[in-house]
Structure formats: structure tokens, C-alpha cells
Amino acid sequence: MDVVENDIQSDNYTLFQRILYGGVSHGVIVIPTHFFKILITLLFPPIGEIFSALTSVPEFIADSFPWITWDAIMNLVKFETINRIVYSFILTSMFYIPGLVFVLANLTPNTNYTPGTLQCRVDTGVCELKTPDTTKPTTATTPIRQ
């Protein structure tokens, strides 16, 4: 092996070497969960709203035509969903930024965020979610004076 290849394998090379010889993205690349949904929303906010309505149904992809389940189609033609899509289209056609803000604000409640950290063991590959303990009772340390 080459000296540079040895440095790459041992992860012991500078940023200049990474740019010059390649390897800037060498290693694990982590893509956020909602990256593609946000990217679609940035390109055209009403499509992001449609995608958000489809993904709110669990298991919305089917193996045959029309490629989405009937539950997802029924969720798509609800009055509230059509109202949000039309509203985002109107806001986007006016100035783009208001439509983008409206759709991004609607994407936020649909996230399944669990606070904590994901810890994985290197030897077994088993991952476990460590959440903060919120069941501790809170006690006042200072007395309340009347």
C-alpha cells in the first residue's frame, strides 16, 4: 500500500491531504431522518405538504399500482389535508417564503422525537436508546415564606 493509503486507513491524515488525495467523505455519513422530506419541501413547498400527508400514514407504500395504500389516498383527500395543500400553494405562489415557512411549521409536529442518546456496542452492534429519567420527584429546597 501507498503511504497515503496507510494514512487513510489509520485515519491519520490532514484536511489538506483529504482535499488533495480524496477521502473528505471517507467514513460513515449520517443523513438525518427527515432530510429528503425537507429537501422536497425546499424545492417546492406544496409537494412537501403532500409528502407529509402521505407519510403520516404508517406503511403508505404499496407493492402494486398506484404504489401507495388506500389509507394514504384517503388521508390525502381529507378536507384538512386539501386545505393545507391549497393554502401552501397560494402562499408559495405569492412569495415562496411564506409557503415554505408554513409547510416547514407543519412538518415539525409530525416528527417522532424521543429525547435521549442512542448508544451502540461495537462488539455486538446492539443499540439501545438511553432516555433521561423524568420520573424523579421534584422537591423544593427553599421554604416558601408567607
**Residue 118 contacts residue 128 (beta carbons within 8 Å):** yes
Residue at grid coordinates 423544593 = 140
- Poorest-pLDDT segment among 28-42, 77-91, 103-117: 103-117
pTM of the model: 0.55
CA distance linking residue 8 with residue 25, whole number of Å: 11
Taking only the tens place, the pLDDT of each residue in 40-90 is 899 999 998 888 888 777 777 777 787 788 888 888 899 999 999 999 999
Cross-strand pairs, 68: 61
CA distance linking residue 39 with residue 44, whole number of Å: 9
